Structure 1
Amino acid sequence: MSQTNVASYAETRNQDMQAYFLGLISVAAFAMTLPAAKMLAGDLSALQVGFFRSVIAAFAAIPFLLIGRAKRPNRSQVKRMLLTSTGIVYGFPILTALGMQYVPVSHGGVVLAALPLSTAIFGTLITGTRPSRAFWVVSALGFLTVLAYTVIKSKVSDIYVGDLALLGAVVLAGFGYAQGGALSKELPGWQVMCWTLVISLPVLLPVSLYLFDANTLGHLPTQGVAALLFLALVNSLLGFFSWNRALALGGIQRISQLQLLQPFFTFGFSIWLMGEAWNWLTPVVCAIVIVLVWLSKRI
């Protein structure tokens, strides 16, 4: 192997390692979405949770753009950012908050296991890249494994509004993730998220003011305030800095498979923070999914 090929291989390997590392950080952060939303379920409506977290994140994004001297996106990029916002500024935050009013955190986390497949499908449609047939087989196996886990662990009474809301969140988030990942090949990932939030302010701000209830927010417990700030500053802003970068470096389809691990992070958080019950089936299924994620990386 020539020195040029060796250097190219090393660079590709380092890029892949960076992409997977950043992706795992983001997945761990995103896994806290449902526990945090569950903490707010009894105090704020789904619309309040969704809009408040996004408007706080939008104002927090402004200093990043100013300090980083970010260039304004062009007209084409703004249009795609508006499309991105439908999934990750509005749809996912509102629908996950709605879902958490009806189903347990651990159940909701497993429903969100469809996110990798949704992201991969939209990534293929948006970027035009065509992963191998083996990739789709492995992705489908990962999804079916987690789906089987859901059926085993769920009760019929859990299904209805909660699951429908979470499935809607899966579709919209997959679309938003793919759009953001594609844009991150043109702009730094942190700029994509910051601009997406900021250009949404003309909608976010008036709706948030309409939904604002001083009495409700004034009596929000400390735990609820912490949950809302986490959703705003980490899940709606900082988490996407590393996620968009990971998608751009490693490819939308491949990196999206890391989200198959998200239900198990969520399960761990549900036990630690929400006091939900431990079971041995979850780590076994998690081990299977990890193997499938590894296989999707290799093919």
Structure 2
Amino acid sequence: METDNSAIAPRSIAAPSLTRRPAWRGTLLAGVGVLSFSGSFPATVFAMRGFDPYLVAIGRAALAALAAVVCLKAAGAPLLPPRAHLRSYGLIALGVVFGFPLFSGLALHSGASTAHSAVVIGLLPAATAAFAVLRAGERPRPLFWVACAAGALSITVFTLTRGSGHFAGADLLLVLALLSAAVGYTEGGRLARETPGWRVISYALVVAAPVTVPATAVLALVTDPRPSGVAVAGFAYVGLISMFLGFIPWYAGLAMGGIARAGQVQLAQPLLTLAWAWLLMGERFGVATIAAALAVLVCVAATQASRPTPDRPRPRA
């Protein structure tokens, strides 16, 4: 007698079949997340006026972990993620809890301007799309890849022309930051297909808490914090919004609209960050910066015009 092993087989997180309406809803949700993330670089600069760069990078995760625990307790959810997904939550933590804040903060501390950093990070959607294919099983159409490559080319040309024909040390840090974020975004988007986005980022923060909380306490003791109103406000922004609240609509949008497709909305982030840098910091930027940001904005519109590829029917056992 044959037995059905489907009930005891481990569940895989398959790529969803996307219809036109849910895909656009996912794009809108991802856009809300991008709007939240767009203030991260100016807020990081403000935070580093009163706190050590390492304290900002690690301490923001400790602050976000506190908010995550409060939300999990209020919702009556378990404080620890399922053991079957611990590896994925570990990758999310390495990518968006440790990697991106640390590398981007060091790049800003080493002299990279907010505007320049924002435009270089415009390569992040292309990296996210690549990881979505490798890890999440998505298969975007050719038009998507053409628009994605055009956006990446625009960012590369901008970086080389602004860097006297070569990448600077700060640019290498920014590349490490965007690769870290791409891994964290892809894993989070996969898990958000079955788990609400707020719980995905909450569990990633909880998994990282045994490192971030003690490290924050040590850094606060060995560094020389000089908190001011601006520094505290910047630290609160990167801890509560950039590290926690912004990920709630972001992961939900990636799960609903497709990681590769909805992730291209982040091509608009350089323009938003440029606006924040000008409004809050009085930072000046030239025609080349604006042109590069507008180019990637056109590319994101093209990626959203590309219809998602429907899933192929799977043979029934």
Give the TM-score taking structure 2 as reference length: 0.84
Deviations 1:185-228 (A, max 9, x none): 121111000011012111111111111138833x3111000000
Aligned residue number for residue 134 of structure 1: 143
Alignment of 1:50-199 (within 5 A): 50-71=57-78, 72-101=80-109, 102-152=111-161, 154-156=162-164, 159-199=167-207
The residue type paired with residue 114 of structure 1 is L
Do the aligned residues in 2 keep the contact of 1:87 with 1:176 (CA within 8 Å)?
Answer: yes
- Looking at secondary structure, tell me which structure has more helix per residue: 1
Provide the aligned C-alpha RMSD in A.
Answer: 2.1
After superposition, where does 1:25-64 map in structure 2 within 5 Å? 25-64=32-71
Q: Is residue 29–residue 253 contact of structure 2 (8 Å, CA) maintained in 1?
A: yes
| Correspondence for 2:298 among 278, 291, 295 | 291
**Alpha carbons of structure 1 residues 288 and 111: separation in structure 2 relative to 1, 3 Å:** closer
**Partner residue, 2:12:** none
Comparing 186-195 and 38-47, the one that deviates more: 38-47
Question: AA paired with 2:276?
Answer: F
**Equivalents in 2 of 1:40, 1:162: separation in Å?**
19
Query: Among residues 210, 223, 234, which one is paired with 2:241 in the alignment?
Result: 234
Matching of residue 200 in structure 1 with residue 208 in structure 2: yes
CA distance in 2, matches of 1:226, 1:157: 37
| Distance (Å, rounded) in 2 between the aligned partners of 1:215 and 1:107 | 28
Q: Structure 1 residues 140 and 206, CA, compared in 2 at 3 Å: closer, same or farther?
A: same
Q: Which moved more, 1:174-183 or 1:201-210?
A: 201-210
Candidates 209, 214, 217, aligned match of 1:209: 217
Query: Which residue of the partner structure matches residue 269 of structure 1?
Result: 276
> What are the Cα deviations for residues 143-202 of structure 1, in whole angstroms up to 9, with x where unaligned?
1123223344x2449953311111110111101110100110121111000011012111
Which runs of 5 or more structure 2 residues have no equivalent in the other structure? 1-17, 307-317
Report the CA distance shift for 1:216/1:136 in structure 2 as closer, same or farther (over 3 A).
same
Any conservation in 2 of the 1:60–1:233 contact (CA below 8 Å)?
A: yes
What is the aligned length?
A: 287
**Does the 8 A contact of 1:110 with 1:147 survive in 2?**
no
Q: Secondary structure at the match of 1:100?
A: helix
Is the 1:95–1:168 contact (alpha carbons within 8 Å) kept by the matching residues of 2?
Answer: yes
Output the CA distance in 2 between the equivalents of 1:53 and 1:65. Answer: 18
The 3 A distance-change label for structure 1 pair 162 and 31 is same
- 1:281 Cα shift? 4.7
Checking the alignment, whether the CA contact within 8 Å between 1:46 and 1:95 is kept in structure 2 is: no
Q: Identity of aligned pairs, percent?
A: 32
The one-letter code matched in structure 1 to 2:151 is G
State the shift of 1:276 in Å.
Answer: 1.1
Question: What TM-score, normalized to structure 1?
Answer: 0.89
